Amino acid sequence: MTIIFDDLCRSQCASALSPRLQYAFTDMHQGQVSFRRSLATEAAPSQPARLAKTVKPHISTAIVLNRSPILTRSSTPFETAYYSYQARIRRTLHNPFPYDFYFKQGTLIETRFNIEERRREKLAFGPRFLEKEDISEEKRQANIAAVEQLAQQEGEGEELVPRTHPADISGDVRSLDRQGKRNLYLLLHTVEDGTEKWRFPQGDVEKGQFLHQAAQKNLFAECKDEMDTWIVGKTPIGVYKPPQTEAPAELATPECVTFFFKAHIMAGQVKPAKDNIKDFAWLTKEEVETRVDKHYWDGIKDVLSDY
């Protein structure tokens, strides 16, 4: 009777409840009642995962200070042969120059043009192409002497400055006049933590400072402001991360990140402003490779010009 009464009470209570709050009864054979709610219940909030403490990287900037070429690059043998071939074609196909219209016959100006024209013909086609002159050797030598005297009077015939600078002969790597046909880059020879190394001018970034402003400030801090320089843009041209040694998490050191900015020098010269800077040099790309370490070279080689 007790069991029947309990079942009737449960059924009456269940019918009195809202349909959305009814419960299902199961496992009656084992004397246990399991309630399953018809509506989905809200999941209990999970405990937030404990985040590992991150170490902020140490950011610095470096300047790739460039001296652009001051001489035109010499032609390769292939380029020289190509230009000579094109010159011969132009001379073969062009109409004869009407020199008698521009120069009065028998004047020294006409004589100079004829001598120079024969020289150009000889250079383009060779000595066997020239026709024999119908004047005596004495007359020809007198014409040449008169033309040379005229050139001296007009300020012509001056010797050109050689393409090889004395700094190239003496091996002065501090001179900005060396390697006039190549791009040169400034490297500093520094002593840091008891180790000597070559690197670009660099320094730390202060809080609230833009990267390009920090690069300019660090350049003047290490090389003084007696140079007329120009930073190309506000965007870095490269980034370098030195290798780090593995260490436990509690002993981990901040990762070092160096951003490179390109700049040009127009005037002035470097004057080291810090005691840890032993020397400086203006070097080509191949010379830079011989002075910096392998890992540093792998990080900067793609931002340097091959010429």
pLDDT at 113 over 60: yes
High-pLDDT (> 90) share of the chain, %? 46
Q: Are residues 63 and 134 in the same domain?
A: no
pLDDT tens readout for residues 199-215 = 999 999 998 899 999 99
Q: Are residues 9 and 130 in the same domain?
A: no
Structural domain contains residue 293? yes
- At residue 151, the pLDDT reads 81
Q: Which of 102, 135, 153 is the last residue of a domain?
A: 153
Q: Are residues 65 and 95 in the same domain?
A: no
User: How far is residue 260's CA from residue 250's CA, in Å, rounded to a whole number?
Assistant: 31
High-pLDDT (> 70) share of the chain, %? 80
pLDDT tens readout for residues 48-75 = 555 455 678 889 999 999 999 999 988 9
Q: Based on the structure, what is the number of domains in the chain? A: 3
Q: Are residues 209 and 250 in the same domain?
A: yes
Residue 277 and residue 188 in contact, taking contact as beta carbons nearer than 8 Å:
yes
Structural domain contains residue 290? yes
Q: Are residues 103 and 225 in the same domain?
A: no
- At residue 9, the pLDDT reads 43
Structural domain contains residue 42? no
Of the candidate ranges 2-16, 67-81, 159-173, 271-285, the one whose mean pLDDT is the lowest: 2-16
> Which tops the pLDDT comparison, 23 or 258?
258
Residue 231 and residue 262 in contact, taking contact as beta carbons nearer than 8 Å:
yes
Token pair recorded at residue 30:
């084992």
For the chain, strand residue ranges (E) read 23-26, 34-37, 58-67, 184-192, 195-199, 202-204, 227-231, 238-240, 256-268, 277-283
302 residue type, one letter:
D
Q: Are residues 30 and 92 in the same domain?
A: no
Per-residue confidence band for 82, with pLDDT thresholds at 50, 70 and 90: very high
226 residue type, one letter:
E
pLDDT tens readout for residues 5-15 = 444 344 444 44
Strand partners, 34: 26
- Range of the structural domain that residue 12 is part of: 2-37
Residue 260 and residue 66 in contact, taking contact as beta carbons nearer than 8 Å:
no
Phi, psi of 246 (to 5 degrees): -70, 135
Entry pTM: 0.69
Q: Are residues 125 and 224 in the same domain?
A: no
Strand partners, 195: 192
Phi, psi of 29 (to 5 degrees): -65, -30
Structural domain contains residue 50? no
40 residue type, one letter:
A
Task: Pick the closest to residue 242 from 261, 260, 259, 256 (CA basis).
Answer: 256
Structural domain contains residue 247? yes
Of the candidate ranges 65-69, 148-152, 183-187, 296-300, the one whose mean pLDDT is the lowest: 148-152
Q: Are residues 203 and 63 in the same domain?
A: yes
- Segment 215-239 mean pLDDT: 93
User: How far is residue 291's CA from residue 268's CA, in Å, rounded to a whole number?
Assistant: 24
Structural domain contains residue 286? yes
List, as own/partner pairs, every contact residues 103-109 make where C-beta atoms lie below 8 angstroms and the sequence separation is at least 24, other chains included: 108/146, 108/147, 108/150
